Amino acid sequence: MLTFTIRRLILAVPTLLFISLVIFLLLELAPGDPMAQVPLTVPAEVKEKMRLALGLGEPMHIRFWKWLVQFFWIEPQVLIDNIFGTSLAEGQLRVISWQTRSPVMDIVVQRIPQTLWVVGTAYVVAILIALPIGIYSAYRQYSWFDQMGTFVSMVGFSVPPFFSGVLVIVIFSVQLGWFPSIYDTTHVVDSWDSFVYQLKQMIMPVMVLALQITAQLSRFMRASMLDNLNQDYVRTARAKGLSEYVVVMVHVLRNSMIPVVTVIALGIPSIFGGAIITEQVFKVNGIGQLLIGAIQANDLPMVQTLTFIFAVLIVLFNLIADVLYGILDPRIRYD
């Protein structure tokens, strides 16, 4: 198991390097000019100097190398500095956003809590809803509850978040006026009333996101339960005279959870970066919104760093899912 993990970790390094190169080359082909926002009155030679100051004068491979060094060597040092109060990275050049002229990672750190709050809550809510639904619809296969579950998850698959989001805004904000349609990220929770307000503004985005995640997870849970319910060990457990509750909730559920846990792990990267559309609909200024803004403003270092962070998360959680699968299921042996 350990050797497998180590081998996969080592394999992840070239994968990530390759991905960062792909992203870099894609952005390199960008026809967009970072100087497009500069007024026309600025003379051409000044513009040229500004371009050089952004580091655009160097050849491509040197810029790629610089980005790699900044991201993998200097940014971790900054992190260590912030945690332990040391000054390893003092005076070193970090990855700088062209929009704000401040370090990209600082902005990312500012934006992450909003995304984590909204999307993370949605994920937890979705898991809490999806698992019981999946278990019950597998236990009563083809019952009306199962049919309903199938239909609801089909709807969850099919209704895109930009429609369901706008729809709940129309119903609950415009018509009924229950919840605010815009998520206020500057809101500080310091009293009971402000806490209630925070809950109110979170309900709609969480609902929209949870519908989608629930749809997938409950289907998966159901399929996995169905696989196990007809196995011999279930008959044995029933023959031993165990109660139905113990058979289903202990014996079958534990075995069915193995693939589901890995699917849950695979979905975690999307908590950090996936909810781009939902954030856009509810104006949550999280990571997804940051990426859209950076793309529209031609802020290449920001786009590069954000896309790469998403890629790292995906690779990392793929690895975690594989390892978890091996740990949970003794039948799986990688070595």
Residues of this chain that interact with other proteins (CB under 8 A) are 15, 18-19, 22-23, 26-27, 29-32, 154-155, 157-160, 162-163, 166-167, 169-170, 174-175, 269, 273-274, 276-277, 280, 291-292, 295-296, 298, 303, 306-307, 310-311, 314-315, 318
CB of 157 to other proteins, least distance (A): 6
Q: Which residues contact 150 (CB under 8 A, 6 or more apart)?
A: 137
Q: Which residues contact 205 (CB under 8 A, 6 or more apart)?
A: 118, 122, 165, 183, 275, 278, 279, 281, 282, 284
CB of 45 to other proteins, least distance (A): 26
Nearer to other proteins, 32 or 113 (CB): 32
Nearer to other proteins, 96 or 277 (CB): 277
CB of 92 to other proteins, least distance (A): 27
Nearer to other proteins, 73 or 157 (CB): 157
Nearer to other proteins, 15 or 243 (CB): 15
Nearer to other proteins, 30 or 128 (CB): 30
**Cα three-residue angle 56-28-54, rounded to 5 degrees:** 20
Q: Could you give the C-alpha distances from 206 to 108, 117, 118, 154, 284, in angstroms and in order?
A: 21, 10, 6, 19, 12
Return the number of other C-beta atoms located less than 10 Å from residue 189's C-beta: 12
Q: Characterize 202-235 residue by residue with b for buried, 16 or more Cβ atoms within 10 angstroms of its Cβ, and e for exposed.
A: bbbbbbbbbbbbbbbbbbbbbebbbebbeeeebe
Nearer to other proteins, 67 or 247 (CB): 67
Nearer to other proteins, 248 or 282 (CB): 282
Q: Report long-range pairs for 74-82 (Cβ below 8 Å, ≥24 apart).
A: 75/105, 78/103, 78/105
CB of 320 to other proteins, least distance (A): 13
CB of 282 to other proteins, least distance (A): 12
CB of 26 to other proteins, least distance (A): 6
Q: How far apart are CA 320 and CA 313, in angstroms?
A: 10
CB of 278 to other proteins, least distance (A): 11
